Amino acid sequence: MNIVDKLVIKRAHMALYAALAFGLWQFSWIGKDLFQNSPGNIKTFFEISYILGSAGWAIWAFWFWKLDRSIRKSGVCLALNDELTNHNRLNAFKSGYFLLIFGLIVLIPAVNNFSVNPIYGIRAVATLGIIIPFILFALSEIKDDQGAD
């Protein structure tokens, strides 16, 4: 496996890790806010998940910085930013955009029918709008790189 293929797979794995860490961080934050007056076990679960998710996001940011440095040193920036990568990135972005619109369409009537603070729904939809493109981009990169040499 050549350096470009290795870096594509590494970038895809990092995108999956980013989605996991960001989702854990943000959904735990929502859970902390929703269950702040609940018994200790539930509250503690969300607090620990929040800490793990935010630490995971910080670790991902550091790893991303290191990957960026290694990509720049290897001189394969153009090979990693080819038409297929741009296509995958655009499709992931479009999917995230449509998810946001769909989430808002569902959220508006839900706010009228449930007595929940709408900020939690907005934060959940925004979090999904961020993590879904990460996941879709990573999966399409892995799928497209299966036959590469």
Mean pLDDT value of segment 97-106: 90
Structural domain includes residue 138: yes
Q: Give residue 19's domain range.
A: 3-144
Domain count, the chain: 1
Q: What confidence score (pLDDT) does residue 147 get?
A: 55
In a domain, 77, yes or no: yes
Alpha-carbon span 48 to 71, nearest angstrom: 34
- What are the C-alpha distances in Å from 66 to residues 2, 123, 138? 19, 30, 18
| pLDDT (tens digit per residue) in 9-36 | 888 999 999 999 999 999 999 999 988 8
Q: How far apart are CA 115 and CA 87, in angstroms?
A: 41
104 within some domain: yes
Which of the two residues, 74 and 101, has the higher pLDDT score? 101
Q: What is the DSSP letter of 110?
A: H
149 falls within a domain: no
pTM, to two decimals:
0.85
27 lies in some domain: yes
